[in-house]
Amino acid sequence: MSIDYEKSLGDLRRTGRIRQLRPLADRTGCRVMYKGRRFLNLTSNDYLGLAGNARLLRRFYSSRNDENLLDGYGLGVASSRLLTGDIETAHQLEERLRTEYGRPAALLFNSGYHANIGILPALLGKGDLVVSDKLNHASIHDGMRLCRAEHRRYWHCDYDHLQEILESSRGKYGRIVIVSESVFSMDGDVADLGRLVDLKKRYKALLYVDEAHAVGLYGPRGLGKAEEQGVLGKVDILMGTFGKAYASIGAFVLCAADIRDYLINHSRSLIFTTALPPVVIHWNLFVFQQVLQMQDQREHLTAIAGKLRRALTEKGLATGGSTNIVPVMIGDNQLAVDLAEEMREEGYLIFPVRPPTVPEGTARFRISLTADMLWQDLEGLAGLLAARMRH
Ligand code: PMP
C-alpha cells in the first residue's frame, strides 16, 4: 500500500517528531538572527568558529591571485572529477592530507555523506561483512544498506560484543570491515580506537573510522582522535569532513593506494556527481593548513565544554560524553520540543534531537559548543535548564 503523506505528517506532528526547515539570517560568529531575533547558536558544527571569521576569510580571498580569479576559483566545473571536473588544487589538497596524516593515499569526496555511502558499497561484496557501532551516523547505515555485504551492529562502544561477533563470523566471511565514529555525533562520547585496532588485527579485519566530529579538534595538529590516541598509521580507512570544524563542504579519506584507486573506479557517489566548485577546494586547502596551528582554539573549546558538563551535572541534569558535543537528556519528545522553545525565548538557539535520529525515549538537546564562544556566554545555561526542567 502506498504512503498516505497527509496522515503520516499528521502522526509526526502529533508525536512531536515533525522536522522543519528553519532559515537563519545574518550569522556573526556564534550569534545568528532567527525569526527577527538574535540568538547564541548552540546547534552549529562550526566547531572552531571559522565560518564567520571575517579576518580569516579576508586573508583567504586576498591571497588569491586576481589574474585567474574567475578561471581558477569559479563556482562550478560542470563535470564529475572523473571527466573534466578535476583541478590541480584537488591533488595538492590530497597530497597535503596524505603527508600530514602520514598515510599512503588521500581521496576527496563531495561531502561526508557522499563518502559514507560510497565507500562500503565499493569495497565490499557478497560474502563480506560490515560490523558497525549501533550509534553510528545515518550516512554509515545508508552505506551499509547500499552494500551487498551482510551487516551486523554491536552495542554502542561495547567491544566485548564486537569481539563476540568477530569471533563467530571470522570463518564465515571473506572481508570484514569494522566501522565506528571516533566522536559520536549525538552523544559526544569517544570510541576506544586502540581497542578497535587490536580487534581488527586479531580478526584480520579492516578498520574504518569516521572522524567527522573530530577532525580539526583533537591531537596536536587537529588531525582527529586517531592522532590523539596515537593510532594514525593503523586505521585502514579514515574519513574526515570539511563540513564541520573546517567551515566548508567536502570530505576526505585516508587509505592505502590500491584502495584509493579502487574507490576512484567503483565508488558511485564519487564517480556520478559533479565535483565541488574550485573555490571550495582552494578554501579547504587553505583552512586545513591554518587549522593545523589552532591549538589555542582547541584548548579553549575543551575547557568550556568541561565547565559546561560540570555545571550541568551540579544542577542534576543528565549529560554525558567528553567532547564539545554536550548532550542533555530529556527523554520525552514533546517535553524536548517545549523546553527547546522556552530556551529559545531566553536567547539560546536550541532545537531538540528526537527519534529516529536518536533511539526511542532518548530525545535530547545536543548542545554543540564552538571555539568562538566565551564562558560568559554559557554560564547561565545550566541553571536555566534545570529551573525549566523542574517546572
Ligand atoms: N558522519 C558523521 C558522523 C556525521 O555526523 C555527519 C554529518 N552530520 C556526516 C558523516 C556527514 O558529513 P557531511 O555533513 O560532510 O555530509
Average pLDDT over residues 347-367: 92
What are the C-alpha distances in Å from 299 to residues 24, 125, 307, 366, 388?
29, 43, 12, 21, 31
Instruction: Indicate if 232 and 332 belong to the same structural domain.
Output: no
pLDDT in tens, 150-173: 999 999 999 999 999 999 999 999
Share of the chain above pLDDT 90, in %: 87
Rounded CA-CA distance 390/64 in Å is 54
Considering the chain, what is the average pLDDT of its residues? 95
pLDDT score recorded for residue 74: 80
Question: Residue 62 pLDDT > 80, yes or no?
Answer: yes
Domain count, the chain: 2
Instruction: Indicate if 188 and 257 belong to the same structural domain.
Output: yes
3-class DSSP string for 212-280:
CCCCCCCCCCCCCHHHHCCCHHHCCEEEEECCCCCCCCCEEEEECHHHHHHHHHHCHHHHCCECCCHHH
Domain final position from 234, 269, 291: 291
Of the candidates 44, 132, 185, 267, the residue annotated as catalytic is 185
243 lines ligand 1 (CB under 6 A): yes
Question: Residue 98 pLDDT > 90, yes or no?
Answer: yes
**Residue 1 — very low, low, confident or very high, per pLDDT cuts 50/70/90?**
confident
- Residue 8 appears among annotated catalytic residues: no
Average pLDDT over residues 45-72: 87
Instruction: Indicate if 131 and 213 belong to the same structural domain.
Output: yes
Instruction: Indicate if 159 and 250 belong to the same structural domain.
Output: yes
- Residue 244 appears among annotated catalytic residues: yes
46 lines ligand 1 (CB under 6 A): no
**Residue 25 — very low, low, confident or very high, per pLDDT cuts 50/70/90?**
confident
Instruction: Indicate if 201 and 348 belong to the same structural domain.
Output: no
pLDDT score recorded for residue 132: 98
pTM of the predicted model as reported, rounded to 2 decimal places: 0.96
- Domain range enclosing 327: 11-41+295-390
**Residue 28 — very low, low, confident or very high, per pLDDT cuts 50/70/90?**
confident
113 lines ligand 1 (CB under 6 A): yes
Domain final position from 291, 316, 340: 291
Q: State in Å: Cα 240 to ligand 1 middle.
A: 9
| Residue 184 CA, closest ligand 1 atom number | 3
CB of 109 closer than 8 Å to CB of 251: yes
Average pLDDT over residues 362-386: 96
